[in-house]
């Protein structure tokens, strides 16, 4: 193959891209669709349930204040601190619950694996940016809120190329 | 010519024609490392790679953390190839802790590791394109990685650092309908990377830049201890997935890509061919995988090794053979952990390859070595 033929073939391959569909995603308007409701863990079988590892969700009626999530995080990111909570739960005599600093969290999900009481899960919420360091620290009350996550785009493969439909 | 005037203080006499040039450590053409190049006009006389700017002490950190909490740390050296970096550690920890792995988990690991290999090579290829001034070859791989990153996100829940492998299997089962989505996206991905031939690999401009530059002969490749794509581009048929199969690689039909030229063009082409082979392996693994079953052997929260023992495991990563040596003294933490990384082994060849080359050929030879600075420094 001659030099001229090779260059023309390379240009031709690029020109074909003018006809195929746009693959990029217009992020704040369109958001990716995820599998499930976030990463969860079933302590009875020891196997997790697939999902995005995003912001945590804490169930106050399940948490016993056993600190296992905090101990699991000690060797990883030291993001979890146990703090006093005002409300009194029957199963939580010490009234302490995890508070997570997302400035340190690496979203590995080992704290979810450590929880034996189905109290700590992860959710699809990944938009956690804040203007201050304090804004990244989520208290037990903030962690109890189930986030609303808009999901509309999924990769679709058509004859005219792939697109985020 | 070096004369030592005091202990530890040496003076070097330099030729007036020779200029010493520092490339890096903040140069876009070198990554997080420095290459001290001595040039005579436009020709490189000598070259001294100087890694170590991003040393993070991953191996020492591993001695203070137990076998489970080591996982997020040990995948940090190469975040784009995080499953393969973690793989030898997990295999070693399994042998030390005496755990059996379920059959389905082994197949999931193979799929995840092949997806990660492709994700890493696409990133490497994007940078190789922009090193050579080919900005189309930066945009296309950076965009086409998304198909595989999307699959890894569905599988493990994270886009880059997955923390998916654990001693005893994988963290979670595949999501429903994953097999169909995976097959569709991998097939489309393979179709896309085949289009790179016309725009990049058969492009006469690329061939004139890379052919016959930085030639590494077969004997030198073996003598210098290179590994992975560098070794295979010099004509040595060596792939750990075939030669020392781990997990279920012995049940899969794997073809090793070998080229005998040993120049920068061959070293850049071998990873591209490897990606197509990876797509093949993923399709085979999806077919042979058991449709149901456990994916993780249940462990105690803080497992202890049974007896004091040492173990060395190695796998074929995106860059070459990656080994992990663990010494255990029967506690919950490893007594000593050492990674034997392919990047550092491939870097050793750089001074031999650059001697006599033009300075403009330095980026094409340097990045063709499949070198990742952070992994070499650990």
pTM: 0.89
pLDDT digit string, tens, across residues A14-26 = 888 888 888 888 8
* pLDDT of res. B279: 92
B73 touches chain A (CB under 8 A): yes
How remote is the C-alpha of B80 from its chain's centroid? 9
pLDDT digit string, tens, across residues A29-56 = 888 888 888 888 888 888 888 888 888 9
Q: Which residues of B touch A76 (CB under 8 A)?
A: 65, 69, 72-73
Give the whole-angstrom CA distance, residue A123 versus residue B57.
32
Lay out the sheet containing B336-340: strands in order across.
B309-316, B321-328, B336-340
Residue A23, judged by CB atoms within 10 A of its CB (0-12, 13-18, 19+), counts as middle
* pLDDT of res. B27: 65
Give the whole-angstrom CA distance, residue B330 versus residue B297.
20
Rounded to two decimals, the ipTM of the complex is 0.86
Domains of chain B: 60-306+315-321 (1.10.645.10)
Q: Which residues of A touch B180 (CB under 8 A)?
A: none
Span of A129-138, A152-161, B5-14 with lowest mean pLDDT: B5-14
Q: Which residues of A touch B (CB under 8 A)?
A: 1, 3, 6-7, 9-10, 12-14, 23-24, 32, 34-36, 38-39, 41, 45-53, 68, 72, 74-77, 106-110, 113-114, 122, 155, 157, 162
* pLDDT of res. B28: 63
Percent of chain A with pLDDT over 90: 2
Give the whole-angstrom CA distance, residue A103 versus residue A128.
10
DSSP codes of every residue in B252-299: S--PPP--S--SHHHHHHHHHHHHHHHHHHHHHHHHHS-SSS--B---
Q: Which residues of B touch A10 (CB under 8 A)?
A: 198-200, 202-203, 205
Domains of chain A: 32-149 (3.30.70.3270)
Which residues in chain B come in under a pLDDT of 70?
A: 1-2, 27-30, 301
A160 contacts A19 by C-beta, under 8 angstroms = yes
From the list B295, B168, B312, B345, the residue with the least C-alpha distance to B244 is B312
Give the whole-angstrom CA distance, residue A100 versus residue B371.
37
* pLDDT of res. B99: 85
pLDDT digit string, tens, across residues A108-127 = 888 898 888 888 889 888 88
């Amino acid at each position: 193959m001659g030099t001229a033929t090779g260059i023309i073939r390379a240009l031709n391959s690029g020109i074909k891209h003018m006809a195929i569909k746009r693959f990029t995603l217009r992020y704040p308007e369109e958001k990716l669709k995820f599998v499930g409701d976030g990463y969860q863990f079933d302590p009875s079988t020891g196997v997790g349930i697939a999902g995005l590892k995003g912001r945590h969700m804490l169930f106050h009626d399940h948490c016993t204040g056993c600190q296992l999530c905090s101990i699991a995080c000690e060797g990883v990111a030291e993001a979890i601190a146990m703090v006093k909570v005002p409300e009194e739960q029957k199963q939580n005599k010490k009234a302490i619950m995890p508070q997570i600093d997302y400035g340190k969290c690496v979203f590995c999900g080992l704290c979810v694996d450590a929880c034996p009481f189905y109290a700590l899960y992860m959710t699809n919420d990944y938009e956690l940016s804040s203007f201050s360091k304090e804004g990244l620290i989520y208290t037990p009350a903030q962690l109890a809120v189930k986030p609303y996550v808009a999901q509309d785009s999924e990769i679709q493969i058509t004859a005219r190329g792939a697109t985020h439909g | 010519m070096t004369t030592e005037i005091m202990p530890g203080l040496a003076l070097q006499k330099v030729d007036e024609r020779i200029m010493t040039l520092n490339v890096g450590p903040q140069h876009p053409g070198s990554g997080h490392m420095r290459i001290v190049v001595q040039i005579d006009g436009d020709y490189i006389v000598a070259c001294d790679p100087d890694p170590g700017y991003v040393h993070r002490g991953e191996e020492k950190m591993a001695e203070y953390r137990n076998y489970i909490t080591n996982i997020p740390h040990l995948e940090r050296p190469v975040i784009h190839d995080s499953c393969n970096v973690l793989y030898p550690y997990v295999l070693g920890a399994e042998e030390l802790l005496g755990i059996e792995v379920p059959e389905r988990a082994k197949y999931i690991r193979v799929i995840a590791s092949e997806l990660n290999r492709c994700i890493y090579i696409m990133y490497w290829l994007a940078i190789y394109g922009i090193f050579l001034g080919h900005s189309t070859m930066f945009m296309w791989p950076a965009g086409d990685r998304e198909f595989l990153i999307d699959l890894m996100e569905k599988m493990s829940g994270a886009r880059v650092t997955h923390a998916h492998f654990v001693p005893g299997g994988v963290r979670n089962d595949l999501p429903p309908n994953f097999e169909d989505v995976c097959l569709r996206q991998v097939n489309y991905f393979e179709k896309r990377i085949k289009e790179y031939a016309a725009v990049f690999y058969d492009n006469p401009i690329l061939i004139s830049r890379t052919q016959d530059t930085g030639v590494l002969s077969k004997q030198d490749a073996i003598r210098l201890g290179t590994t992975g794509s560098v070794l295979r581009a010099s004509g040595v048929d060596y792939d750990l997935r075939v030669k020392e199969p781990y997990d279920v690689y012995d049940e899969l039909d794997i073809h090793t890509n070998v080229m005998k030229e040993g120049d920068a063009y061959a070293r850049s082409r071998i990873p591209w061919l490897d990606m197509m082979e990876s797509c093949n392996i993923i399709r085979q693994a999806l077919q042979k995988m058991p449709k149901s079953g456990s994916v993780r052997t249940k462990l105690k929260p803080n497992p202890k090794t049974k007896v004091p023992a040492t173990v060395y495991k190695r796998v074929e990563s995106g860059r070459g053979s990656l080994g992990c040596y663990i010494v255990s003294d029967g506690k919950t933490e490893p007594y000593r952990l050492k990674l034997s990384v392919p990047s550092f082994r491939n870097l050793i060849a750089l001074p031999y390859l650059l001697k006599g080359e033009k300075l403009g050929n330095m980026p094409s030879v340097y990045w063709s070595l499949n070198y990742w600075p952070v992994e070499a420094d650990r």
